[in-house]
Structure 1
Amino acid sequence: MLVKNILAEKGNDVVTIDPESSLAQAVELLAEKRIGAIVVTRGGGRIGGILSERDIVRMLSAEGPSMLEKPLSSAMTSKVKVCHEENTINEVMEIMTAGRFRHLPVERDGKLVGIISIGDVVKKRIEEVEHEAQEIRNYIATA
């Protein structure tokens, strides 16, 4: 299974935000959309960073509520790991596990085209395993 198959099913919509926005604006958007991460984009759909709930919690713990007035660029991860549509689920699981990421932007030709979460990946992997198990049961039943 490839990343493009996940995106074909779930869609390519990604919630993005401008790097000049405040952390308060980012928090509002995360809550409103009920998501765990937001991609920071620059002109032309280029990925400039990613801000996750974990980033916000760490900064809140270190600086207190006043951190909400800061630009989100002060808390975002600017060196963003990405995947591509041709990556397999196993490759993406390795990237997410190694980096301890729960969200991974999908990039094509340097531009954001989607985002996948660990939930998306686990769901697809479970479907694959169930399908393989059913094929084995069918094979045994007909052999």
Structure 2
Amino acid sequence: MKDRPLIDVAPHRDTMCLPPDTTVQQACARMREAGVSAVLVTDDAGRLLGIFTGRDAICRMLAEGHDSAVTTLATVMTAKVEALGPRDRAIDALHLMHDGGFRHVPVIERGRVVALVLRSDFRALERAQIEAEEEIFATLR
């Protein structure tokens, strides 16, 4: 279980990738239509530039008063994105999410996006392992 490759966690779904000049309004409409919680912002070669999530729409757009019809993803995306490779361990991605406080990890191979893993993609046993480790570390502190 703990050595399962990350690519095995990603369900067989299309990962939504959009260019950085896409407006937030366009991105949110596409996200709603596809029923996804995040889009990866990529260049023409498929290289990851950033991520835009539903949280970004609320915390960066609404809270800061941006106009979604003219604001581009490049303006409000998270540019420093933690990513892993398809053969990295799944549990490492879950640790990364837990420690970083986020719910999405892009999977990159040869510099290009191949998948997006969500916290909800993990098995209950993997999530329980993270919680048990957290309790152990809290006791040691």
TM-score by length of 2: 0.80
Q: What amino acid maps onto 2:6 in structure 1?
A: V
Q: In structure 1, how many angstroms separate the alpha carbons of the residues matched to 2:108 and 2:125?
A: 20
Q: Is the 8 A contact 1:36 1:52 kept in 2?
A: yes
Q: Which residue of structure 1 lines up, in the alignment, with residue 6 of structure 2?
A: 3
Q: Is the 8 A contact 1:84 1:107 kept in 2?
A: yes
Extract unaligned runs of 5+ from structure 1.
129-143
Q: Which residue of structure 2 lines up, in the alignment, with residue 121 of structure 1?
A: 122
Extract unaligned runs of 5+ from structure 2.
130-141
Q: Which residue of structure 2 lines up, in the alignment, with residue 138 of structure 1?
A: none
Q: In structure 2, how many angstroms separate the alpha carbons of the residues matched to 1:65 and 1:116?
A: 28
Q: Is the 8 A contact 2:40 2:50 kept in 1?
A: yes
Query: What are the superposed Cα offsets for residues 13-57 of structure 1, whole Å, 9 maximum, x if unpaired?
Result: 211111011010111011111111000110211011100111110
Considering only aligned residues, what root-mean-square deviation do their CA atoms show, in Å?
Answer: 2.0
Q: What amino acid maps onto 2:90 in structure 1?
A: I
Number of equivalences: 125
| The structure with more helix, counted as a fraction of residues | 1
TM-score by length of 1: 0.79
SS in 2 for 1:19: coil
The percent of aligned pairs where both chains have the same amino acid is 26
Q: In structure 2, how many angstroms separate the alpha carbons of the residues matched to 1:68 and 1:124?
A: 42
